[in-house]
Amino acid sequence: MGDQHVDQAVTRSSTKGIEFFGEIDALRSRRVDIDFDCAHGRISLASPPFPHKPHLGRILVRRRSNLGGHVVHGPGHAEVTVVLIHGGGMTARYWDRLVPYLDPSAVAVNLPGRADRPANLATLSVDQEVASVAADIEAGVPSGAITLVAHSSGGLVVPGVVAALAGRVTQIVLNAALVPAEGGCGIDCMKKRHREGLVMAIAAAEREGRSITLPGAPDDPESLRNSYGGDPLDDDIVAFIADPVRCVPDTVHHYFQPVHWSKAAGVPITYVLNERDRPVPARTQEEMILRLPAPSGVVRVDSGHLFAVTAPESFAAILAGQRN
């Protein structure tokens, strides 16, 4: 989820019974933004803010009373495994509320430095994270197509994983994910005050011969309630996010590593934009979307930073739409 001291956000919604069927159009004349109304299960095509970019073509939404929140495969569906990559300060358990609504084959991986993936957080690099994720996928899903889903700073590893898996990644879905300019670093995507504060803190630590890592769960979980944007978190979600099985110390070193999204060129990308995100504001997300290689499209959601936690059925419906 990025810097644990960075503001963070959520919203609540219900879209049980929504089924999406999406088709990537070959036309490249304009980009279509897709507005997704979490509360009412509606989707609409907004006027394109990025006219020079490719777009998602036709989106059909229909209601089903018996969907039950699980992914529904359309006719002729080819087997694709969804792989979930969490953001900063989190573990694979970040996805616990989403996983029940996905195909049973879905895999949530741990980045190094948490759970059963030990690492030196002071020196952990994007390349090491990429190697770990790729190795986990190759061990757990040795064959077949992959849809990569990444949240927040988890986006930094996506291009490298695409390259490492050599053609197996057929779809990318990003949610408030960090996308620096080609060859840029994750810190470039932070709010100015957080970026400058982190640079100053690291410089001071280096002068004193020490290193900086992000803290884990806060002493007072109440501090998380309004940190993510969107609606205030309810008690259950505060407890869920603050649980040490999810909220863990993390590296800042990977924010200073170069990222090359050109490695993912040619793989369809859908960016799920959280409109009420506090750590990664909507305007920042819009700027990052422009850096993505083609083809790419946007789904706008009325959400704070933790869309997969606060509206898992809605997120699952969007993923289902990208797979059909």
Give the lowest-confidence range in 33-42, 165-174, 199-208: 33-42
d(CA 161, CA 16): 32
User: Which structure tokens are listed for 255?
Assistant: 């924010």
Structural domain boundaries enclosing 37: 8-323
Whole-angstrom Cα distance, residue 139 to residue 108? Answer: 13
- Compute the distance between CA of residue 33 and CA of residue 19 in angstroms, rounded to an integer: 18
Average pLDDT over residues 88-104: 97
- The answer to whether residue 75 is domain-embedded is yes
Task: Average the pLDDT over each of 74-83, 134-143, 256-265, 310-319 and give the range with the smallest value.
Answer: 74-83
What DSSP letter does each residue of 71-124 carry, written as one string? --PPTTPPPEEEEEE--TT--GGGGTTTGGGS-TT-EEEPPTTBTTB---TTT-
Torsional class of 146: left (φ above 0), alpha (ψ -120 to 50), beta (otherwise): beta
- Give the pLDDT of residue 116: 84
Residue 1, domain member (yes or no): no
Is 19 contained in some domain?
yes
- Residue 226 maps to which CATH number? 3.40.50.1820
Q: How far apart are CA 175 and CA 301, in angstroms?
A: 10
Structure-derived torsion over alpha carbons of residues 121, 159, 109, 233, reported in degrees to the nearest 10:
80
Q: What is the per-residue pLDDT for 321?
A: 85
pLDDT band at 323 (very low <50, low <70, confident <90, very high): low
Residue 2 is assigned to a structural domain of this protein: no
Whether 3 is in a domain gets the answer no
User: Is 188's pLDDT higher than 70?
Assistant: yes
Calpha distance 102→73 (Å, rounded)? 11
Other beta carbons less than 10 A from residue 65's beta carbon: 7
Q: Is 253 contained in some domain? A: yes
pLDDT, greater one: 21 or 115: 115
Q: Is the pLDDT of residue 10 over 80?
A: no
| Residue 115 pLDDT | 84
Q: Give CB contacts under 8 A, 24+ apart, made by 94-100.
A: 94/1, 94/151, 94/246, 94/308, 94/309, 95/308, 96/240, 96/246, 97/240, 97/308, 97/309, 97/312, 98/308, 98/309, 98/312, 98/315, 98/316, 100/69, 100/312
- Residue 7 scores a pLDDT above 60: no
Average pLDDT rounded to a whole number, residues 115-128: 94
* pTM score of the predicted model: 0.78
With a cut of 80, say whether residue 49 has pLDDT above it. no
Task: With respect to residue 309, please indicate whether it lies within any of the assigned structural domains.
Answer: yes
Pairing relationship of beta strands 228-230 and 8-10 according to DSSP bridges: parallel
What is the mean predicted confidence (pLDDT) over 212-235?
A: 94
66 in a structural domain: yes
Q: How many domains does the chain have?
A: 1
The top-scoring range by mean pLDDT among 203-207, 208-212, 277-281 is 277-281
Q: What is the mean pLDDT of residues 10-24?
A: 26
pLDDT of residue 78: 56
pLDDT classification of 60: cutoffs 50, 70, 90: very low
Does residue 37 surpass a pLDDT of 80? no
Q: How much is the pLDDT for 176? A: 98
- For 289-308, write each residue's pLDDT tens digit: 999 998 789 999 999 999 99
